[in-house]
Amino acid sequence: MTRFRWVAALGAVALALVVQVSVFPHLAWHGIVPNLCLLVVVAAAMTVEAPFALGLGFAAGLLLDLAPPADHVAGRWALAFTVVAFLVARLRQDSRPNALTVVGTVAAASFVATSFFALTGVLLSDPAMSVTGLLEVVLVAVLWDVLLTPFVLPPLMKLFSRLSPQWAVQ
Amino acid sequence: MGAFGGQEGRERRWRGLDRLEARHRSPRSLLVALVLASITVITLDVSSGTRSPLEPVRRVVGEALGPAESVAAGAARPFTAVPTWLRRRSDLTDQVRELEASNAELRSKVELAGFERNRLEQYDGLTSAATDLGHALVPARVVAVGSRQSQSFTVTIDAGSTAGVGPDMTVVNNDGLVGRVLRVTRGTATVLLIIDPDSTVGGRVGSSMEIGFVHGSGSLDADAGLDLRLVDDASVPSREDTVVTWGSSSGPYAPGVPIGSITDVYSSLREASQRAVVKPFVDFSALDVVGVMVPSGTDSDRAIIEADGSLR
């Protein structure tokens, strides 16, 4: 069961990645697209146990770091997603999350992940970017992720709770 | 009775706490392990530069996901064309007006063509760009675009090593220079666009033949432009001047490919150098069909366009 769960989760991440880099650029606003991989990680962290969510966060981040169009220093998204998965798993309540909680969590996770990624970029001076440019990127990314939440999060959370019923919140 | 009830309550609470704890037990050790793993990956990638141990891993991931990206982009293409069908009459009128204006501009250019041709001959004589026609173009389409969140301006194209594409080759489209190939897999290649903040292209100002370096600005906005710094501090580039690649036949950028035109010139007293803003000819927010410059006669899995315009 756990092996099947990993396969399903990684499949969802791979699908999210392909849609994110190949389909959404046509709808992008100044090149900013919704971070679907992050949504998969948040859905896992809100539904199943923390170790799985952390591992999935690391794996999804690493995939985003290494998959073709990426050319930044590898490991930066892995670090950001691991931290976000930890925070979401830590802060989640023991009751079934309502719509507002889900949207709020996604907004916070998107903000933390994008800014964390940007901060590691500043530390490594990977690309030189202005602060206003970074702020614009972070805010638009949050908006995009929140916009897609109603369409992406419910099916993903249903998938994860069906794959691991013992952890699902009743 | 009361004692029993209390015990039962405690029992239940205990079980509840247990369940709660199991779920909320923060896996600190796992977090630390994964964070350290991420930092190790970052360190490996940063410290070893181009010979990164992660290059083979990138290649494997690319081999696996590249075809999926090509398929997804192909499936999305018919839908992305829909907005062009739905246009209002006013849009079409605007378009007619724009086309008339550009037609008039082109006519005036044709009238100046003789002069331009003479000038071009001079340039070619000087740069010997004309001798370097031994290039062919491998046509390709953009199948994936890196997001702004990732802060690098790269795209994936659907031509790889089987099409004859290799690292450091020049990528152009019908407007001008697009970028260079960073790495290839069998069916795809990753291209660094010239607007990436890390990109540096050797550029030459058309009218004065002065050389300099064109840096990416890190913005998709065409008005943000590229940054040109001339090697010779004394020369002042003029506006509307065309910047072409200076390049070499062995280096990453082929010589004589148009990059953009100069829109603004600033002189910085502090740095004692001239800085010019170059507006790229290529519209990077709508990249689709591109060509990769390969040596003439390269084996390819598709028809390649030779220097004389013939298909092979």
d(CA A81, CA A37): 9
Higher pLDDT, B32 or A127: B32
The residue of chain A with its CA nearest to that of B187 is: A68
Q: How confident is the model at residue B309 (pLDDT cuts 50, 70, 90)?
A: low
Which pLDDT score is estimated for A62? Answer: 92
Average pLDDT, chain B: 76
d(CA A150, CA B28): 31
Which pLDDT score is estimated for B122? Answer: 53
Higher pLDDT, A34 or B307: A34
A83 contacts B35? CB cut-off 8 A: yes
Mapping DSSP to helix (H, G, I), strand (E, B) and coil, where does residue B139 land? Answer: strand
Q: Which positions ≥6 away from B292 have C-beta within 8 Å?
A: B137, B138, B140, B157, B159, B163, B165, B169, B170, B171, B181, B189
Which pLDDT score is estimated for B289? Answer: 84
Higher pLDDT, B120 or B46: B46
Q: How confident is the model at residue A1 (pLDDT cuts 50, 70, 90)?
A: low
Mapping DSSP to helix (H, G, I), strand (E, B) and coil, where does residue A169 land? Answer: coil
Residue B2 predicted with pLDDT over 60: no
d(CA B270, CA A5): 60
The residue of chain B with its CA nearest to that of A137 is: B149
Average pLDDT (B230-255) is 76
Beta bridge partners of B265: B276
CB atoms within 10 A of CB B311: 9
Which pLDDT score is estimated for B310? Answer: 64
d(CA A68, CA A65): 9
**Angle, CA B80 vertex, CA B78 and CA B81 arms, to 5°:** 65
Task: Using alpha carbons, select from B308, B296, B3, B266 the residue that is nearest to residue B138.
Answer: B296
B179 touches B194 (CB < 8 A):
yes
Which pLDDT score is estimated for A30? Answer: 80
B146 contacts A67? CB cut-off 8 A: no
Higher pLDDT, A17 or B241: A17
Residue B22 predicted with pLDDT over 70: no
**For residue B71, how many C-alpha atoms fall within 13 Å in the half-sphere facing its CB?**
7
Give the percent of chain A with pLDDT over 70: 91
The residue of chain B with its CA nearest to that of A138 is: B149
Least confident segment among A118-127, B102-111, B159-168, B235-244: B102-111
Beta pairing, strands B135-145 & B154-157: antiparallel
Task: Using alpha carbons, select from B248, B38, B283 the residue that is nearest to residue B173.
Answer: B283
B42 contacts A74? CB cut-off 8 A: yes
- Using the CB atoms, write b or e for B245-260: b if 16+ within 10 Å: bbbeeeebbbbbbbbb
Residue B83 predicted with pLDDT over 70: no
Which pLDDT score is estimated for A42? Answer: 92
Residue at A66: amino acid letter: L
A61 touches A86 (CB < 8 A):
no
Nearest-Cα distance to chain A for B154, in Å, is 5
Nearest-Cα distance to chain A for B5, in Å, is 25
Task: Using alpha carbons, select from A148, A145, A80, A143 the residue that is nearest to residue A113.
Answer: A80
B310 touches chain A (CB under 8 A): no
Residue B26 predicted with pLDDT over 80: no
Residue B7 predicted with pLDDT over 50: no
Average pLDDT, chain A: 85
Which pLDDT score is estimated for B175? Answer: 80
CB atoms within 10 A of CB B197: 18
Which pLDDT score is estimated for B115? Answer: 55
Could you report the predicted ipTM of this complex, rounded to two decimals? 0.82
Higher pLDDT, B299 or B63: B63
Task: Using alpha carbons, select from B198, B201, B193 the residue that is nearest to residue B153.
Answer: B193
The per-residue pLDDT for range B208-224, each reduced to its tens digit, is: 778 888 888 877 776 77
A67 contacts B219? CB cut-off 8 A: no
Least confident segment among A45-59, B23-37, B274-288: B23-37
d(CA A40, CA A37): 5
Q: Which residues of A touch B46 (CB under 8 A)?
A: 73, 124
